[in-house]
């Protein structure tokens, strides 16, 4: 693997990771805010299930392409 390919993979992983964490946080806020229950009374297993699935789906979506990780030399 060339140095350029390593750099682009690192760029992609960083961008995809940031997106996944943001998606995880957004799903968590939506989950906790969707009910009239308090934070201490939340179903934490459900919370983790929903947020982890959202993060995994974000990573899978990122496989299709990330504008912030595209190489400017590719003309895209």
pLDDT tens digits for range 23-75: 999 999 998 887 756 667 778 898 999 999 999 999 999 988 887 776 544 44
Closest CA to 48 of 29, 33, 28, 30: 28
Please give the pLDDT value at position 10.
Answer: 87
Please give the pLDDT value at position 54.
Answer: 97
Please give the pLDDT value at position 74.
Answer: 47
Alpha-carbon distance of 40 to 61, in angstroms, equals: 32
Average pLDDT over residues 11-33: 93
Please give the pLDDT value at position 27.
Answer: 95
Closest CA to 65 of 25, 12, 23, 20: 12
């Amino acid at each position: 693997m060339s140095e350029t390919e390593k750099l682009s993979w690192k760029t992609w992983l960083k961008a995809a990771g940031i997106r996944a964490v943001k998606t995880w946080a957004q799903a968590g806020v939506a989950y906790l805010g969707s009910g009239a229950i308090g934070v201490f009374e939340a179903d934490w297993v459900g919370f983790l299930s929903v947020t982890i699935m959202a993060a995994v789906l974000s990573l899978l979506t990122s496989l299709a392409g990330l504008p912030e990780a595209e190489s400017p030399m590719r003309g895209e």
